[in-house]
Amino acid sequence: MMSVRLSAVVETPDGRLLTLGQGLPGVVHFLPGGVVDAAVAAFQDALRRVLRERFGVEAAIGPLVHVDRTGDRDEYVFVAHIADHDDLRRVPAPSGCFWDGIELTPAAVHAAGFMPRGIGMFFAGHLRHGRAPWALPDVRSRPPRKRRHHRTR
């Protein structure tokens, strides 16, 4: 059975990126979310359900901003709008993690050690260009990539 991880990009009231940090040596950060069966028809509905069941919050799921192809388990990253951002901080973090707000600078994002690694590189790259993660367009609305052909002489 193939599965994927669905993640939510959530902004804290002070403009940081809400994450789950592991309390182990060499702290690693994850985005809130969870694993679902890849056969799910609507990932937005599945992510909304995961956030409700696991974290006890109601979320409006926005655009799909990134897909991290890890080769093991792909991670689909959606923007999630939660009426009261402090709701997640009131709920105990699952699996021995703690809630953390990552400052939106490339240096802070790199230092957070996101897992999978592609998530941190994605956020840092956009931050260098002045784009916050929750302001990114849906990747499904981008035109298909065009293949460039080199002319032969």
Question: Which domains are seen in the chain, by residue range?
Answer: 3-141 (3.90.79.10)
Mean pLDDT, the chain, whole residue set: 85
* Structure confidence by residue, pLDDT tens digits, 64-93: 999 998 777 889 999 999 877 666 767 788
127 pLDDT band (50/70/90 cuts)?
A: very high
Instruction: Answer whether 30's CB lies under 8 Å from 114's CB.
Output: yes
DSSP 114: B
pLDDT at 129: 94
- Burial degree of 106 (CB within 10 A; 0-12, 13-18, 19+): middle
Task: State whether residue 76 is helix, strand or coil.
Answer: strand
Q: What is the pLDDT of residues 41-62, one digit of tens each?
A: 789 999 999 999 988 888 999 9
Which residues, other chains included, contact 52 with Cβ-Cβ below 8 Å and sequence gap of 6+? 58, 59
pLDDT value at position 95? 79
